[in-house]
Amino acid sequence: MTLESGFKKVKKIGLVVKTDPKAQEKANRLESWLRSKKTRIIRRTPDFSYRVPSTKRRKYVPEDVFCVIVLGGDGTFLSAVNWIGEQNIPILGVKFGDVGFLAETAEENLFHAAEMILKENFTLTTRMRLQVDIKRNHRSLVHETVLNDVVVNKGALARLAHIKTFIDDAYLTTYSADGLIISSPTGSTAYSLAAGGPIIHPDVPAIILTPICPFTLTNRPLIIPDSSKIEIQLGKKGSDIMLTFDGQAGIKIKEQDRVTVRKSDHPLSLITLPGHQYYDVLKTKLRWSGGRI
């Protein structure tokens, strides 16, 4: 999707910077440069303290922000996405350190990327997000939107988790495993990939279910249409089981909880600069064909 002519003009930019001296110093220079271009800055350091999600309203980035620029890795990027919430505010990732799948450009190209933003010389691409709802005793307990994944995880000393899984109200199976990952195509290169899941291009309309160390070896990753509604609940005697959201938040779930996952009505808008390709990041990160990090 190209930048629409009716899109709000550049007046205010959000800046999320990881707690790294090099990134902070570069952000200071960027902030000074942007202010010299008559641009207002809202700066934020990611909060990596593990939070418990709820239905209560959190503080989000102001709606009049033109875009959010992220200096850091994938964790910082996901923190910024959480700050954006369900608003249609574009985001640009600038990597510092190891290559991240979510970064659009590298630190040495930061000022060039910022200039492209001020000139509105970029395109917008959308990434599907997942909406996660938890009901307990018919009461809404949690409403979260995630970019990568929602994960059912058993505690370190807990026995196998028994996860009853339904798709579009039809019973699929009960996974007996260390956990279950439900991911978007963007999240297919995160935890799901480490657990043996497939790589899905971000434009493919799909949701991936990847069991973690399943007891039954025939339980393999499953790709389903993005129109599907997934519902999970714990089997009997389920204890010490966590549900986590993009690795940013988590909550203990109980047998009576009903967890529903579906495609969100609020995709994320990514800023894409001219000449950048998804496959370039993929080849570099996975070291294909001699690619280096």
CA-CA distance, 241 to 120, in Å (whole number)?
Answer: 46
CB–CB of 90/124 below 8 Å? yes
Active site residue 74: yes
Query: 245 is written with which tokens?
Result: 């959201």
* Cβ atoms within 10 Å, residue 90: 22
Which sign does the torsion angle of CA 234, 240, 243, 246 carry? negative
Which residue reads 């297919």 in tokens?
A: 188
Q: List the catalytic residue out of 20, 47, 74, 257.
A: 74
CA-based nearest residue to 240, from 143, 160, 124, 170 = 160
Residue 94, SS3 per DSSP: strand
Beta strands in 10-115 (DSSP E): 12-17, 40-44, 67-71, 91-95, 105-106
Catalytic site residues? 74
